[in-house]
Amino acid sequence: MRADQAERELISRDIEEYLARHERKDLLRFLTCGSVDDGKSTLIGRLLHDTHMVHEDTLAAATRDSKALGTQAGELDLAFLVDGLKSEREQGITIDVAFRYFTTAARKFIIADTPGHEQFTRNMATGASNCDLAILLVDARHGISVQTRRHAFITSLLGIGEIVLAVNKLDLITDSSGAFSQDRFNEIVRAFEEFSTRLPARNIRAIPMSALKGDNVVERSAQTPWYSGPTLLEHLETVPLGGHRNHVDFRFPVQWVNRPNLDFRGFAGTVASGCVKPGDRVMVLPSRRTTTVKQVVTFDGDLNEAHPPLSVTLTLADEVDCSRGDTLVHPGNEPHVSQDVSAMVVWMDDAAPLVPGKEYILKHGPHKTPASVVRIAHRVDVNTLDRSPAPALALNDIGEVAIRTSRPLVYDAYTRNRGTGAFILVDRLTNMTAGAGMLLDPSEADGGNWTSAPRATHLAPSAQVITPDERAKRLGQKPFTLLFTGLSGSGKSEVARAVERRLFDLGRFGAVIDGSALRSGMSRDLGFTKHERSENLRRGMELARAMNEVGLIVLASFTAPDASVRARARELVGGDRFALVHVSTPLDACRRRDPSGLYAAAARGSVKDVPGLDLDYETPTDADLALPMQEIGAGEAGVRAAVERVMAFLETRGALVR
């Protein structure tokens, strides 16, 4: 273990000062990943070698091995500094993750060098799970491969916010002057950016490199005059460490009840997130009993407060029932508590696929419970990121599943809280760690609240006092819901309003539910992502159903861009009293009209997630009625004609009686 010149001087001059500084250095955990043979281990070997972190005897041993196996024509194979298993050196591949530790004057690092081979994806996930940054390597000759995409996707699922795209082996692709090819570099960067726009936003830094020769790893390369960014090491030493720790929501999963004698009863555990102090009111979940924290006990004396990732022991003011697997939280800031959860799962068992119905052991922090997968919501194609239905998840598959546990989980969404949002599934027969799961907020799940079970478990159905027949007679109509879908500016709200007027004039009762109007009231907490749009429609449809219950005809106007979400709306309201009306105005026309100024704002770049632009609008193939406004006509006359078509439709569906 050696250091740069200034540090070396400090070590020999004032070792205690050096140690004090060393202790205050930041720690960055990162991994190397990417497809097989792209140069990950070579890169780590190069990094350790060029920062003088390799001891002489270790280097001599690696050189001997390289000679014996002849992988680099007798030269030192840098990968041998990390490929620590015999079969790895013999086969020239990495099988399992190697953890390496190194320090520079600026920072401490923990490196996980992970295998690229698809067969060992689970070892890659093992290495990645605790990292803050991922170096994704790409062999410049081969470009982005399926495995590159798979690793990019897994690092994204695991919440790694910093990516280095290391375009490696550029020494093999040079231009006429012998310099590394800038065109090839740009081409690969563009291809990666195109893919990663479909993933949650992250910081991406692309670096042209040769791990073998050491270009832009520690030393700046003379072969990349066109590149002015940092070398890899410079970047690693300076990249901001946002940290993934949640300092807001106090969560303390109890690991161990410490009871050495009758006078002491302490609850030992690791603070997963947030902060706790003596005197804090706390609630035990799932039992919901409350009490007060008496002391925060440690071997080194009581603390005034405890933060993650401290391991402490809490004593409580009252004799509450609390044991391993329970969670302490602050009342009023409570996590989800449920036996029905949704999660993204990476499947790791080569012996058996994940199948619905099979029971596993689910381990979530110190909590362990039998659990079974109720449903596979979808599988994600790692190449295209498209979702599709799947009967099972095989080895290395990634998908969203709905799980039912025997005992409730106390959890947060993984994106909000890594400490309480992760779990593993263990096969009951083989004891193999079969899957890794990242819990979703109920609203983000495929299906969101459309499919989640009600939180309250004792709901009494209300008794009907007026029959639907009585209502139909009085109102001269049968309850019905029309869902008008279409792009912003297609005219769907105008048509809905006009139909409401028309019904009123005929002595009937229609009611408009307008998607954007809901957002100022019952949906004021929602934005415009896919999930939030879905949830807004769900609320609208719950309202429609309630209005249908009292006999009204509902005219619901929502963009509703997702076909699957529209299908859920149909299901929720009930197929026999529901119809989908597609107001199909072409995008150009909508843009010209732009009644709400949305398209203008998008053009300025001040709004995102606009259906038809950067968010997909899935054109309905199951519309019960289409209103091609372009053909029907513009202006008031057009709207009148559309109303006629809607009225005729309602007539044929028997919504208007008498």
Q: Which residues bind ligand GTP (CB under 6 A)?
A: 36-42, 79, 93-94, 115-117, 168-169, 171-172, 210-212
Q: Which residues contact 203 (CB under 8 A, 6 or more apart)?
A: 161, 162, 163, 239
C-beta of residue 513 within 8 angstroms of C-beta of residue 544: yes
Cβ contacts of 512-519, under 8 Å, gap ≥ 24? 512/554, 512/555, 512/556, 512/557, 513/540, 513/543, 513/544, 513/547, 513/554, 513/555, 513/556, 513/557, 514/556, 514/557, 515/540, 515/556, 515/557, 515/558, 515/559, 515/560, 516/596
Q: How far is the CB of 433 from other proteins (least distance, A)?
A: 5
Residue 36: name its binding partner from other proteins, ligand GTP, Mg ion, none (Cβ under 5 to 8 Å by kind): ligand GTP
Residues 302-321 touching other proteins, rule: CB under 8 A, are 307-311, 313
Query: Residue 64, interface with other proteins (CB under 8 A)?
Result: yes
- Helix, strand or coil for residue 509? coil
| Cβ count near 102 (within 10 Å) | 17
Q: How far is the CB of 150 from ligand GTP (least distance, A)?
A: 13
Residue 600: name its binding partner from other proteins, ligand GTP, Mg ion, none (Cβ under 5 to 8 Å by kind): none
Query: Residue 87, interface with other proteins (CB under 8 A)?
Result: yes
Task: Choose which of 5, 6, 56, 524 interacts with other proteins (CB under 8 A).
Answer: 56
**Residue closer to Mg ion (CB basis): 41 or 196:** 41
Q: How far is the CB of 80 from ligand GTP (least distance, A)?
A: 9
**In the chain, what is the straight-line distance between the N-terminal and C-terminal CA atoms, in Å?**
91
Whole-number CA gyration radius for the chain:
30
Task: Choose which of 9, 61, 333, 600 interacts with other proteins (CB under 8 A).
Answer: 61
Q: How far is the CB of 218 from other proteins (least distance, A)?
A: 19
Tokens of 500: 């409401």
Query: Residue 130, interface with other proteins (CB under 8 A)?
Result: yes
**Residue closer to Mg ion (CB basis): 91 or 186:** 91
- Point out the residue whose Cβ comes nearest to ligand GTP: 116
Query: Residue 151, interface with other proteins (CB under 8 A)?
Result: no
Distance from CA of residue 353 to its chain's centroid?
22
Q: How far is the CB of 120 from ligand GTP (least distance, A)?
A: 8
Which range, of 181-189, 213-221, 241-249, 489-497, touches other proteins by CB under 8 A?
Answer: 241-249
Query: Residue 24, interface with other proteins (CB under 8 A)?
Result: yes
Q: How far is the CB of 82 from other proteins (least distance, A)?
A: 7
Instruction: Kindly list the distances between the CA atom of residue 609 and the CA atoms of 365, 554, 584, 602, 606, in Å, as whole numbers in the listed order.
Output: 36, 27, 20, 9, 11
Task: Choose which of 75, 101, 453, 507 interacts with other proteins (CB under 8 A).
Answer: 101
Query: Residue 580, interface with other proteins (CB under 8 A)?
Result: no
C-beta of residue 30 within 8 angstroms of C-beta of residue 45: no
Query: Residue 508, interface with other proteins (CB under 8 A)?
Result: no
Question: Rounded to the nearest 5 degrees, what angle is found at the Cα of 56, between the Cα atoms of 54 and 61?
Answer: 95
Query: Residue 228, interface with other proteins (CB under 8 A)?
Result: no
C-beta of residue 441 within 8 angstroms of C-beta of residue 427: no
Query: Residue 504, interface with other proteins (CB under 8 A)?
Result: no
Residue by residue, what is the 3-state secondary structure of 61-96? HHHHHHHHHCCCCCCCCHHHHCCCCHHHHHHCCCCC
Alpha-carbon distance of 447 to 470, in angstroms, equals: 35
- Helix, strand or coil for residue 370? strand
Alpha-carbon distance of 421 to 341, in angstroms, equals: 11
**Category of 627 on φ-ψ map: left (φ > 0), alpha (ψ -120 to 50) or beta:** beta
**Residue closer to other proteins (CB basis): 434 or 627:** 434
**Residue closer to ligand GTP (CB basis): 187 or 514:** 187
Per-residue x/- marks for other proteins, 358-397, CB under 8 A?
---x-xxxx-------------------------------
Query: Residue 431, interface with other proteins (CB under 8 A)?
Result: yes
Task: Choose which of 5, 6, 16, 73 interacts with other proteins (CB under 8 A).
Answer: 16
Q: How far is the CB of 235 from Mg ion (least distance, A)?
A: 21
Binding site for Mg ion (CB under 5 A): 40-41, 94
C-beta of residue 184 within 8 angstroms of C-beta of residue 172: no
Residues 332-361 touching other proteins, rule: CB under 8 A, are 348, 361
Alpha-carbon distance of 343 to 325, in angstroms, equals: 20
Tokens of 8: 């070396």
Q: How far is the CB of 96 from ligand GTP (least distance, A)?
A: 10
